[in-house]
Amino acid sequence: MPRDLHPRLLRGFVATAEALHFGRAAERLHIAQQALSRDIRTLEGLLGTALFTRTTRSVDLTPAGQRLLPRVRRLLALHDEVLAEAGADVGARPLLLDLNSDVTGPDLTADRVLERARAAWPEGELLARFHGGLAAAAAELLAHRLDASFGRFAGLPASVRGRLVQLPVRLERISLMMADTHPLAGRPALCPADLVGHPVDICAGNPATTEWADLGTRLLREHGLTAADPYVPPVGVDETARYLARHGDPMLTTVGGPRIPGTVNVPLVDPVPLSLVSLVHRPDEHHPGLHALAGAAARLGAVEGWLRRPPGSWLPDADAALLPAG
């Protein structure tokens, strides 16, 4: 087997082989279906053979996949046994990381940092989880069921912030995602005056993302705008598309975020509102994977100016206070 064949890829293969359904296997692994599909393609590329036959109605193991399955099960069992006997030393166990989103996008901060960290630390294992918001992930961090997460740290309650630490990673530009039939969908950019009479969905109905709703509340209040009624939040690409088409309100998101069929993503300007994304973890967490993530974030940030604040931009004081001096 190739030397860079990671246990994460093998676990994804076993889960898919047992469920014979990518969606159910992804739920079992607590990852996005797109991430699982990507891992399966990577594994098939490394092995030089197809492991599954896929149609719109079914997923089945190929003969090669059938031969591989019992061997992979034995390999993972031995892997877990070795870790258990060694006391699952902190550097040997996987680092559990929440990516703060159940969908992927062309420029999502957490996805890019994770990809760079995995390349820089090939001997380790970084396992992605998707809790859908830093408020939910923070509870998992404090319960020691998660090692690190990304999100807006300033939006957490003070009692939670006091028990966690953060590393500023990126100032993301805020935008609005809306159905492509919305009256504002044809604009190249939107300023606050354009949104008068158009309530903005700040995901206030999602208890997992209260830090994001807090940012939306601050932004709308400062510019005299109205928040949309809170709804039960969608999960996944298809449900988000249906949600936006049904409710009609533009949803607060970020530039470079997920691509949803039937929608457009329009940046906000005059001023350009920003959200500070941080890498968040417990102060006693010393996993080497955390250092790999921090290093990856620093390298990307230095090259692309992730923490450079544009002139005349909007950022809450609580977020600005977290930025490094200078």
**Pick from 50-54, 105-109, 218-222, 284-288: least confident:** 105-109
pLDDT in tens, 222-264: 999 999 988 887 777 788 888 888 888 999 999 987 778 899 9
* Residue 315 and residue 274 in contact, taking contact as beta carbons nearer than 8 Å: yes
Provide the CA 287 distance to its chain's centre, in angstroms: 20
pLDDT above 90 as % of the chain: 58
Average pLDDT over residues 26-39: 79
pLDDT value at position 83?
Answer: 60
3-state secondary structure of 269: coil
Provide the CA 216 distance to its chain's centre, in angstroms: 19
**Pick from 82-96, 103-117, 187-201: least confident:** 82-96
The residue to which tokens 């003070």 are assigned: 158
pLDDT value at position 326?
Answer: 60
pLDDT value at position 84?
Answer: 59
pTM: 0.72
pLDDT value at position 3?
Answer: 54
> Alpha-carbon distance 11 to 153, whole Å?
32
pLDDT value at position 131?
Answer: 67
